[in-house]
Amino acid sequence: MRRQLLLCLLGLLLSCLPVSHAQSNTELVQVIPPPMRHAEPPAATSSMEELESRADELRAQKAYLDALDYYRAVLARNPKNGTIWNKSGIVELQLHRYREAKRDFDRAIHINRESADAYNNLGVVWYLQKKYVGAIKEYQRAIKLRPDSASYYSNLGAAYFSKKEFERATFAYNEAVRLDPTVFEHSSQNGVSAQTTSLEDRAHFEYVLAKLFAKQGDSDRSLQYLKRAMEEGYKGIDQVYKDPDFEQLRSDARFTELMASRPPAIPE
């Protein structure tokens, strides 16, 4: 009798559950399994050049653990190869192993004090851990060694922006855009794009970019970022009518059309 009662209650509970036509719960959150190795282990007969080339291929394929195996095989033969330590650090960074990434970048710098990429990448480690002062110092060291890198200035701007030092962020972004107008439209394996903590900050960031491109006379990109700023609910959007950097853009018919349409803000 007791068993029949339990079966009845179980049937009642099951009847209350939502039915999925695919016989699977589409609301289910599945934990992604840890990364696995897919490539063959490094061959002892391979040259260091072959090992590095294979590691680069695996890194491009996002087979990070395999790539690490190959980079480590190179370092086992030549532990003073700063370039490989830097590449190894990038892979560790992709795996979110910040301590290991910092160790690798530190070794790359110890071997070659002129390695601008290693300083930049070390800055990325600090940035991703929200240690923005440390990130800024490393980005500045990278820029001192290679002042023509738009990516370094972009990363520096992101760090200042995260500290809400908007004037310094704007200056850094301006340098990035001056060096490469497409810097925000592509990503680099050696750096990170600007990361903001709230929708309001993202909207402000988009407005800053719209302002920079307007000042450079790039109306297409300025309008693109201006639209994004409005969609993300930038509260100071009406400053666009007063800001002298937008003077040329205000004469563009597309600007008038955009401001008249006022794209609705995306709710947070």
pLDDT score, position 138: 97
Alpha-carbon span 206 to 249, nearest angstrom? 16
**What is the predicted pLDDT for the residue at 201?**
77
Q: Over 50: is that where the pLDDT of 230 sits?
A: yes
Grade residue 181 by pLDDT with cuts at 50, 70 and 90. Answer: confident
What confidence score (pLDDT) does residue 187 get? 52
The pLDDT, as a whole number, for residue 252 is 93
pLDDT value, residue 233: 87
Average pLDDT, the chain: 84
Please tell me the least confidently modeled range out of 16-30, 62-76, 114-128, 147-161: 16-30
Rounded Cα distance, 63 and 74, in Å: 17
Residue 265's pLDDT band (boundaries 50, 70, 90)?
low
Show the DSSP H helices in the chain as ranges.
2-16, 48-60, 64-77, 82-94, 98-111, 116-128, 132-145, 150-162, 166-179, 199-215, 219-231, 253-261
State yes or no: pLDDT of 121 exceeds 90: yes
Contact status, residue 125 vs residue 101, Cβ threshold 8 Å: yes
pLDDT tens-digit map of 66-75: 999 999 999 9
User: What pLDDT is stored for residue 186 in this prediction?
Assistant: 65
Digit-coded pLDDT (tens) for 58-111: 999 999 999 999 999 999 999 999 999 999 999 999 999 999 999 999 999 999
Q: What is the pLDDT of residues 3-54, one digit of tens each?
A: 444 445 444 444 444 444 444 455 666 555 666 677 788 899 999 999 999 9
pLDDT at residue 155 greater than cutoff 90? yes
Percent of the chain past pLDDT 70, that is, above it, reads: 79
Residue 129 has pLDDT above 60, yes or no: yes
How far is Cα 33 from Cα 265, in angstroms, rounded to an integer? Answer: 36
Name the pTM for this structure: 0.74
Token pair belonging to 160: 């200042």
Pick the residue with more confidence: 9 or 172? 172
Mean pLDDT (whole number) for 201-219 = 88
Task: Give the closest residue to 52 by CA, choosing from 23, 25, 81.
Answer: 81
**Residue 22 has what pLDDT?**
45
pLDDT at 256: 92
Cα–Cα dist 190/91, whole Å: 10
- How far apart (Å, rounded) are the C-alpha atoms in residues 225 and 207? 6
Residue 92 has what pLDDT? 95
Of 215, 156, 218, 224, which Cα lies nearest the Cα of 181?
218
Minimum mean pLDDT range among 22-31, 138-147, 220-229: 22-31
At residue 141, the 3 state secondary structure works out as helix
